[in-house]
């Protein structure tokens, strides 16, 4: 059931209860002051009892069969108009205290069909009221015509129908706007969540699988002649693959991935650089000033994923022979720079550069309050640098 259908059902339920209240009040008024209804005293009581039973039946129908509440709405509105006209006729015509009951079908019509429906029901109610008045006058069952009161009541019903219709249409338009905003917000939330999932997959599982591919390629190209080293590397890849499979199972089960262990940034970076050096034969330099940094866990994790993405791009695309990674922490900022002497690329055209990974790197750095910059050109290598203000880092 959509929110709009739920709101319609709530209104139908409220209208059904209101009809029952009107019926009970009318019956109580007749019982407390029977002398006022001397035209058709017995029929007045009977009509009100049946109106109460009819109201209770509508309430039961709406509550037991919510899906059918709309289909019975049209029939109930016209039955309300006719039944109220009968009650007005039997309880004194123009002098009846129940003329205001005509407002009930006007309310229900405005709720279902807006201003057009409420005005039509009001005109039908006025017509039946006129018929009742002239019928009683012709039969000498009612006093002087009382045109002033008669006309005021008729105009009052039309004006009331206009007001209720206007409010109903205004409410409908506002609900449509809210539903549109809700749909837009839902779509945006879905896109954001989809982007987050894609980033988690890219930075976690996919990067790990890409690393395994590079390590397997290294085994095939460089370690076939060294059975001992090959065996150790394959066992390491096997263990890492099990870890990745565990991560995939957790991801599919909707569980959060294992949190990044605080204080392991440099250890993980050294492992990645060692692979570039020993596995791919790159000349690698790591500089940190000072040797130990103070990170929050979230900042440390995002910095690592940014740098690992850049290192894997070097391994896959750069064809470099030298890599220099520098990390510095001052009183005002943490800065990082990763340079290679590879083939480079044109950032405006993408080429074989970071591609989707670059956007992920920028988003991660922006999320923790930093800025990331990429400089590259064909044949002149690539430099990726970032600046993370210390004040923002402390607040993260």
> What number of other Cβ atoms are within 10 A of residue 320's Cβ?
20
Task: Please tell me the predicted confidence (pLDDT) of residue 359.
Answer: 80
Burial of 245 (0-12, 13-18, 19+ CB in 10 A): exposed
CA separation for the pair 112, 58 (Å, rounded): 16
pTM: 0.46
User: 102 near 157, Cβ under 8 Å?
Assistant: yes
Supply the CATH number for residue 344's domain: 3.30.565.10
- Same domain, yes or no, for 152 and 37? yes
- Same domain, yes or no, for 181 and 269? no
- Same domain, yes or no, for 163 and 33? yes
Give me the tens of pLDDT residue by residue for the chain, a chain 396 residues long: 566 666 677 877 888 888 888 888 888 887 777 766 656 777 877 888 888 898 888 888 888 776 666 667 778 888 888 888 888 888 776 667 778 888 888 888 888 888 888 899 889 888 888 887 777 665 555 555 456 667 787 888 888 889 988 888 888 888 778 777 767 766 765 666 566 666 666 566 666 676 767 667 667 666 666 777 777 777 777 777 777 677 667 666 656 555 567 778 888 888 888 878 877 788 999 999 887 787 788 888 889 888 988 888 888 788 889 999 999 998 889 999 999 999 988 887 754 444 457 787 888 899 889 999 999 988 889 999 999 997 644 444
Q: From 307, 309, 301, select the one nearest 203 (Cα to Cα).
A: 309
Task: Please tell me the predicted confidence (pLDDT) of residue 351.
Answer: 47
Task: Please tell me the predicted confidence (pLDDT) of residue 352.
Answer: 46
- Same domain, yes or no, for 174 and 267? no
In a domain, 199, yes or no: no
Burial of 77 (0-12, 13-18, 19+ CB in 10 A): buried
Token readout for 187 is: 């779509």
In a domain, 304, yes or no: yes
- Same domain, yes or no, for 393 and 301? yes
- Same domain, yes or no, for 151 and 278? no
CA separation for the pair 343, 289 (Å, rounded): 29
Per-residue pLDDT tens over the stretch 221-236: 666 667 777 777 777 7
- Same domain, yes or no, for 267 and 171? no
User: 314 near 280, Cβ under 8 Å?
Assistant: no
Task: Please tell me the predicted confidence (pLDDT) of residue 325.
Answer: 94
In a domain, 203, yes or no: no
Task: Please tell me the predicted confidence (pLDDT) of residue 93.
Answer: 64
Q: From 300, 301, 374, 386, select the one nearest 337 (Cα to Cα).
A: 386
> What number of other Cβ atoms are within 10 A of residue 36's Cβ?
16
Task: Please tell me the predicted confidence (pLDDT) of residue 146.
Answer: 57
Q: From 139, 15, 150, 135, select the one nearest 72 (Cα to Cα).
A: 15
Angle, in degrees to the nearest 10, between helices 103-138 and 3-32: 40
Task: Please tell me the predicted confidence (pLDDT) of residue 240.
Answer: 72
In a domain, 118, yes or no: yes
In a domain, 191, yes or no: no
Number of domains in the chain: 2
Q: Domain boundary at 132, 153, 186, which?
A: 186
In a domain, 338, yes or no: yes
CA separation for the pair 352, 314 (Å, rounded): 10
Q: Going edge to edge, which strands form the sheet with 382-389?
A: 283-289, 322-329, 333-340, 382-389, 371-376
- Same domain, yes or no, for 294 and 175? no
In a domain, 216, yes or no: no
**What is the domain range of residue 377?**
263-396
Q: Domain boundary at 160, 186, 212, which?
A: 186
Q: From 153, 173, 277, 150, select the one nearest 218 (Cα to Cα).
A: 277
Q: Domain boundary at 186, 221, 255, which?
A: 186
Token readout for 233 is: 């590397």
């Amino acid at each position: 059931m959509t929110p709009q259908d739920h709101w319609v059902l709530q209104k139908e339920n409220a209208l059904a209860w209101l009809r029952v209240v009107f019926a009970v009040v009318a019956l109580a008024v007749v019982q407390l002051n029977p002398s006022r209804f001397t035209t058709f005293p017995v029929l007045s009581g009977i009509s009100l009892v049946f109106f109460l039973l009819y109201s209770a039946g509508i309430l039961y129908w709406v509550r037991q069969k919510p899906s059918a509440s709309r289909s019975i709405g049209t029939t109930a509105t016209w039955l309300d108009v006719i039944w109220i006209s009968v009650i007005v006729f039997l309880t004194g015509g123009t002098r009846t205290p129940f003329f205001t009951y005509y407002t009930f079908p006007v309310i229900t019509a405005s709720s279902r069909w807006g201003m057009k429906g409420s005005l039509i029901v009001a005109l039908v109610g006025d017509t039946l009221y006129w018929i009742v008045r002239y019928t009683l006058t012709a039969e000498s069952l009612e006093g002087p015509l009382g045109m002033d009161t008669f006309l005021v009541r008729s105009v009052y019903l039309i004006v009331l129908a206009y007001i209720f219709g206007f409010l109903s249409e205004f409410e409908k338009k506002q609900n449509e706007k809210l539903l549109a905003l809700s749909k837009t917000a839902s779509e945006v939330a879905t896109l954001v969540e989809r982007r987050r999932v894609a980033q988690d997959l890219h930075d976690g599982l996919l990067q790990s699988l890409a690393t395994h591919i590079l390590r397997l390629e290294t085994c095939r190209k460089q370690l076939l002649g060294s059975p001992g080293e090959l065996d150790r590397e394959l066992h390491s890849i096997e263990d890492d693959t099990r870890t990745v499979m565990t991560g995939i199972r957790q991801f599919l089960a909707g569980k959060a991935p294992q949190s990044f262990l605080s204080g392991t940034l440099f250890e993980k970076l050294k492992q990645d650089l060692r692979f570039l050096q020993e596995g791919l034969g790159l000349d690698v330099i790591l500089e940190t000033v000072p040797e130990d940094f103070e990170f929050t866990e979230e900042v440390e994790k995002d910095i690592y994923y940014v740098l690992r993405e850049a290192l894997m791009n070097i391994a896959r695309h750069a064809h470099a022979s030298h890599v220099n990674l520098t990390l510095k922490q001052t009183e005002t900022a943490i800065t990082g720079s990763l340079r290679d002497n590879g083939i480079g690329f044109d950032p405006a055209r993408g080429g074989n550069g970071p591609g989707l990974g670059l956007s992920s790197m920028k988003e991660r750095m922006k999320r923790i309050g930093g800025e990331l910059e990429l400089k590259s050109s064909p044949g002149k290598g690539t430099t990726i640098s970032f600046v993370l203000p210390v004040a923002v880092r402390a607040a993260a």
